[in-house]
Structure 1
Amino acid sequence: MSTSICLIRHGETAWNAVRRLQGWQDIELNQTGREQARALQSYLSSSAFQMPVDAVISSDLQRASETAAIACKHWDIAIQQLKGLRERGFGTLEGQAWDAAGRHGPDQPDDTVDIDYAVEGGESLRQFQTRVLECFETLAQENPGKNLLVFAHGGVIDMVWRKLNQQALNAKRAHAILNTSLNFFSIDAALKWNSTLWGQLPHLNTTLDEQR
């Protein structure tokens, strides 16, 4: 019996807008991020979103949990928060510009990146993916046959994408991971992962454009 998951990136923050490393820093949504979350709420509450939702789960960082609270306000469902869904910890690099972080930042990796290197106080790519995948497999085992709406971070989505597509942790990714994008996949009882739809943004192609 498979667990179906719709994995959603949080809305934009001020640090996203200027490309500063957030990691475990608890940065709130900016106005654009809240507009994105409201657009998402409009979509999730419409007939266009057809996945029944049994549970809503979020990273415990407020940019994800606030997105979840806004987007899911039409449902009478408590939002469970999990530390395991946090963004990658960047330790002493958090707060710096992506460019200043250089090859140890979250920008496109290449095959020269050491996946076992961890900045002081942070996580290596391997440690990060292990944490993320274990969190999702635990959720699947605890919720067999259910449909989960999960709010997390760009790095978390990247780790899941690499698992689903059997991509190395230091392989380049051809697409961006956009704020409030929807990504659908499932995990079955044998812990086999299957991708369904990826990088969907139906709410931002309609609602926000109509508001401009």
Structure 2
Amino acid sequence: MTTHFYLIRHGETSWNAEKKLQGWQDIALNETGLQQAEQLQHYLASEAFSARIDRLVSSDLRRASDTARIASRHWGLPIEMTDQLRERGFGELEGQSWASVGYPDQPNADHTDIDASPQGGESVRVFHQRVLNSFEELTAKHSGLTVMVFAHGGVIDQVWRKLNQLSLWEPRTQSILNTSINHFSIDQQGVWNIENWGQLPHLSTALDEAP
């Protein structure tokens, strides 16, 4: 049976706006992020969104879990929290600007060494495998169902690479915007398929990318 996922990035935080590496820091949504979550909720509750959602899953970091709580309140479903869908851990680099640590555009990949890890953080390879394992476990647990997942830009980046069979160091060509909706599936043979990507029907204007 095929399991469908709607993977959604959390709303904006002050650190997104300031272009700081968040990693595992538990940064709250800012006012823009709260508005984005509300706009997402209005869309998901409308006739324009026709998918039946069977399960809700979220990263346990509050920028994701608060987005999930707001955006899904009309369904009344419990939200399964997991630390396995957190952003990449940047360790000692968390709180620094992307540019100052050499990640001016895509802080979720180290283009020099995918096995290098910041002090107290994760390498790209370890992060990538954590993300893929998480979705494969969710597929086994919720086989044949439709699962909405609230997570982070880095998580979405790793899924995008898997779906497009791209290397971990290849530059990403598509932005990952706050509260964007990404639909993919994993079938019973374990094959990942992209369905729809980077959708923002609920926002009147697209904000700058801020992983």
Question: Normalized against structure 2, the TM-score is what?
Answer: 0.94
Q: What is the total number of aligned residue pairs between the two structures?
A: 206
CA distance in 2, matches of 1:156, 1:15: 17
CA distance in 1, matches of 2:168, 2:157: 9
CA distance in 1, matches of 2:87, 2:109: 16
Q: Detail structure 1 runs of 4+ shifted over 2 Å in the superposition.
A: 103-110
CA distance in 2, matches of 1:175, 1:5: 19
CA distance in 2, matches of 1:180, 1:21: 18
Task: Name the residue aligned to 2:125.
Answer: 126
Task: Name the residue aligned to 2:92.
Answer: 92
The answer to whether residue 158 in structure 2 is matched with residue 159 in structure 1 is yes
Task: Name the residue aligned to 2:173.
Answer: 174
The answer to whether residue 74 in structure 2 is matched with residue 74 in structure 1 is yes
After superposition, residues 1-212 of structure 1 pair within 5 angstroms as: 1-103=1-103, 106-107=106-107, 112-205=111-204
* Deviation of the 1:105 alpha carbon: 8.3
Greater helix share, 1 or 2? 1
Question: Normalized against structure 1, the TM-score is what?
Answer: 0.93
CA distance in 1, matches of 2:88, 2:108: 15
* Partner SS, residue 117 of structure 1: coil
Percent identity between matched residues is 56
Residue segments in structure 2 that go unaligned for 5+ positions in a row = 206-211
Root mean square deviation of aligned Cα = 1.7
Q: Is this contact kept in 1: 2:108–2:157, CA < 8 A?
A: no
The amino acid that maps onto 1:185 is F
State the Cα deviation string for residues 56-101 of structure 1 (Å, max 9, x = none). 1000000000000000111110111011000000000000011111
* Partner SS, residue 174 of structure 1: coil
After TM superposition, the structure 1 stretch with the greater mean CA deviation from structure 2, 131-140 or 94-103, is 94-103
* Deviation of the 1:205 alpha carbon: 2.9
Residue segments in structure 1 that go unaligned for 5+ positions in a row = 207-212
* Deviation of the 1:142 alpha carbon: 0.7
